[in-house]
Structure 1
Amino acid sequence: MSYTLSTPEKLALYMRLVLIAPWQILFSVFRVLVITQIRRIPASLFLVSAILKVVLGTLSSRQIQHLSPPTRETYKSWIQKKKAAETELATTNVLSYDIEFLESDATLLWVGSRHVAKKIVLFFHGGGYVAPLLPGHLEWCWRTYVAAGRETDIEVAVAVLEYQLCPEAKYPEQLRQAVTALAHILSRNFPPRNVIIGGDSAGGNLAAQVLCHLVEPHPSIPELVISEPLGGAFLVSPWLTQSTEDRSFLKNSPIDMLSAKTVDKSTKELFPDGHGSLSKLAFPLDRDRAWMRRLGSVLSHMYVTVGSHEVFLDQVEVFVDELRRAECTPSIRFDLQTKQAHDFILLESQRNEDGECIQAMRAWMREWLMKKI
């Protein structure tokens, strides 16, 4: 549900939106226009990113949730609009309002028909663990995974996890819900080799947490033993460490939607007071790297993508490099997108565009379905 602000909180939000945010947006847009000219990259999506930067940096998690439709409401609205656009599929289960309620307060929102699907994608949306699902996340799932299945005559369904947001839900609750969701899917007679997990930003972090849990179980979450490696995982602009001191933070913060300030804010929202060393378990690059040497036992293929103009660039490159140097790791495809910043696949999807990021992800999915990787 959306968060209801108190009267003083509403007044503070109104003052911020009217008196402060417009000037910040104006400055952010101007700065992006200058930098994109210097770097010789298309400005279009960077201008959207400039506005989001102000929203993420200026508003609190409560304010963001107050202004945003809840995840389930977004899902219902998207299904209705998609049915109107895809008239040939409007009466099929491929575009039905399909929700599954699981243990641990986890909920799966299905895109595509789980009743006929041969392959399943378990999707974790981004948003710093404070923002709900966006329509672009659902459009992305439709345009890449379901569409790739239709192109190869293999039915694919996407299970979008509606996990609980901060500040109500703290770490490791989101991991508990993600593991519950994966266990539920595997219990429905989908073999691990036919299942892919992944997500963007914080969702990419959550996917990485699940992989770590399969290798080294979290002490407060039941172990999940799988009979064979998962078919694949995709990490889009993943959040992999608490550190914000990488060179890419300094270089790309002026043009990216994220900054050290927004990342630190999400970190503080995620961890309860006194959580101590367990917080390191949430980030693959903060924990002992020994888990990487055993990743191949639970995962066959991994697709990692990051924009060369985003703050997470350095940490993602370190992550991929260390995985490749580890023994017994899965096959890895690393896609460095030279004209993009953080999570541009989501921005493309928000605009209903088949942009470079969407096309690259769909190509990877199609190759996986056809067993070419």
Structure 2
Amino acid sequence: MASDLITRHPFKGIWALGAITVNAVKFPFWIFYYSFSSNRQHPEWSFKQAVTAVALKTAVWHSSMVQVSTPLVIKAEGKEEGFLVPIKPSSIPGVYKGICDDKEIKPATICGYWYPSPYNADEDKTKKVVLHFHGGAFVTGDCRPKKSGYAADLLTQHIGKTLMVSYRLSSNPDGLFPAALQDAVTALHYLRDLGIEYSNIIVGGDSAGGNIVAALLRYLADTDAPGPAAALLWSPWVDLARTLTPEVLYESPHRFTDYIPANFAIWGANSYCPKDGPVSMDSKWISPAKSPFYTKTPMWIQGNGQEILLEQVKDFSDGMKGIEGNKIAFHSEKIATHDILLVGNIIGFEKEAVNSVKAAAEWLNQL
């Protein structure tokens, strides 16, 4: 974990300036080194994929060192009007119970961003809607186009109108577990309050967002509540406890191809589920791969061939398939890294990202 010193100003700024300077020097070396295909992290990768993967990994590493916090900004500004909507906690008694009824963390107002256009009840009420939770190790990310626009565009083009949700992040004091799960329940009931039937709601999440979706489906099953029509989990982070082991962080065969550095996973996991929190790291709510469960909601799961989470994603998928009554599908892009739905355009895996979304759409059409 980053020391307390470099996570505070002015030391945070000094570190950032130093990182920019050092990597400006490194960049020409990367350009030269990866111009030779034999030096690339994977034999089938392009020059762009090789360079952007190492550049992104470096950027994420430095961001994790200084622990950049992302505030939850609910107020719409300028062109966001109509697209960005506040989402208030449900007032229905009993919606937040069990694990969601925490003594300290209470349901709160969050926000969501409609893609490709503001919600129109007359036109959209009877159509399929994707309710999506972004990735970012629970500590970073946002629903707005700058952070989630690429994923949202893919979902709207191939599946349907999408509400991207900004949930409370654990890089902020009010974002510890079960805040994100409470926010998922809040967002689901927001769509129901709009008159959208469960049969028209598809929940989805990438990386940490996939973990949130798994927790939401378990919560709905445990409370015997109605569930959405389907769930799409893109590179879901489903075993936080296992991720923090040397086997995954420092010995995984994919540690050289994936852009996720060890300190990002450590920061995210320990922030979301601190040692003095309401549940342990290997809890079924935090590491669902350890505790498969029954869900009425069909689930499509993606785990790519070059991502550090591949083994735990496959284990989660296999475990869920082993529960009688579950409908589970698994999809993988052989040469792709983690969470290409969110960053495929940045690291050069646009083709694989489109293939994945088309595969998910085809699966949905067969339900």
Return the match for 1:126 from 135, 139, 149.
Answer: 135
**Structure 1 residues 261, 24: closer, same or farther in 2, change over 3 A?**
farther
* Aligned residue number for residue 114 of structure 1: 119
- The answer on whether the counterparts of 1:49 and 1:256 sit within 8 Å (CA) in structure 2 is yes
* Aligned residue number for residue 97 of structure 1: 83
Alpha-carbon distance, 1:342 to partner = 0.8
**Structure 1 residues 182, 304: closer, same or farther in 2, change over 3 A?**
same
Q: Deviations over 1:199-256 (max 9, x none)?
A: 111111111111121123xxxxxx5721xx4211111111011213456952111121
Q: Deviations over 1:175-208 (max 9, x none)?
A: 1111111122123222212111111111111111
Alpha-carbon distance, 1:353 to partner = 8.1
Matched, 1:318 2:315: yes
1:29-40 equivalences under 5 Å are 30=33, 34=38, 36=40, 39-40=43-44
* Aligned residue number for residue 234 of structure 1: 232
- The answer on whether the counterparts of 2:85 and 2:112 sit within 8 Å (CA) in structure 1 is yes
- The answer on whether the counterparts of 1:136 and 1:349 sit within 8 Å (CA) in structure 2 is no
Structure 1 residue matching 2:68: 3-state secondary structure: helix
Percent identical among aligned pairs is 20
Matched, 1:206 2:204: no
1:200-349 equivalences under 5 Å are 200-216=206-222, 223=223, 225-226=225-226, 229-242=227-240, 243-244=242-243, 245=245, 246=247, 250-275=252-277, 277-279=279-281, 280=283, 281-286=285-290, 288-289=291-292, 292=293, 294-295=294-295, 297=296, 299=297, 301-330=298-327, 332-349=328-345
Q: Quick one: distance in 2 between partners of 1:37 and 1:267?
A: 26
Q: Quick one: distance in 1 between partners of 2:264 and 2:280?
A: 22
Alpha-carbon distance, 1:345 to partner = 2.7
- The answer on whether the counterparts of 1:204 and 1:236 sit within 8 Å (CA) in structure 2 is yes
Alpha-carbon distance, 1:157 to partner = 2.0
Structure 2 residue matching 1:234: 3-state secondary structure: strand
Alpha-carbon distance, 1:45 to partner = 2.7
**Structure 1 residues 205, 26: closer, same or farther in 2, change over 3 A?**
farther
TM-score w.r.t. the length of structure 1 is 0.76
Structure 2 residue matching 1:250: 3-state secondary structure: coil
Q: Deviations over 1:321-352 (max 9, x none)?
A: 1111211112x221111110111232334589
* Aligned residue number for residue 99 of structure 2: none
* Aligned residue number for residue 18 of structure 2: 15
One-letter code aligned to 2:119: R
Matched, 1:364 2:360: yes
**Structure 1 residues 63, 240: closer, same or farther in 2, change over 3 A?**
closer
Q: What is the root-mean-square deviation in Å for CA atoms of aligned residues?
A: 3.3
**Structure 1 residues 201, 102: closer, same or farther in 2, change over 3 A?**
same
Q: Quick one: distance in 2 between partners of 1:162 and 1:268?
A: 20
* Aligned residue number for residue 166 of structure 2: 162
**Structure 1 residues 341, 121: closer, same or farther in 2, change over 3 A?**
same
Runs of 5+ in structure 1 lacking a partner? 81-94, 150-155, 217-222
Alpha-carbon distance, 1:143 to partner = 2.6
Q: Quick one: distance in 1 between partners of 2:28 and 2:314?
A: 32
Q: Quick one: distance in 2 between partners of 1:37 and 1:50?
A: 9
* Aligned residue number for residue 93 of structure 2: none
- The answer on whether the counterparts of 1:240 and 1:315 sit within 8 Å (CA) in structure 2 is yes
- The answer on whether the counterparts of 1:71 and 1:132 sit within 8 Å (CA) in structure 2 is no
- The answer on whether the counterparts of 2:134 and 2:148 sit within 8 Å (CA) in structure 1 is yes
**Structure 1 residues 37, 184: closer, same or farther in 2, change over 3 A?**
closer
**Structure 1 residues 366, 308: closer, same or farther in 2, change over 3 A?**
closer
Alpha-carbon distance, 1:138 to partner = 2.0
- The answer on whether the counterparts of 2:87 and 2:187 sit within 8 Å (CA) in structure 1 is no
**Structure 1 residues 239, 285: closer, same or farther in 2, change over 3 A?**
same
TM-score w.r.t. the length of structure 2 is 0.77
Q: Quick one: distance in 2 between partners of 1:5 and 1:260?
A: 21
Alpha-carbon distance, 1:61 to partner = 7.0
1:129-208 equivalences under 5 Å are 129-133=138-142, 135=146, 137-144=148-155, 146-148=156-158, 156-168=160-172, 169-208=175-214
- The answer on whether the counterparts of 2:133 and 2:206 sit within 8 Å (CA) in structure 1 is yes
One-letter code aligned to 2:289: L
One-letter code aligned to 1:141: A
Q: Quick one: distance in 1 between partners of 2:300 and 2:140?
A: 24
Alpha-carbon distance, 1:127 to partner = 0.9
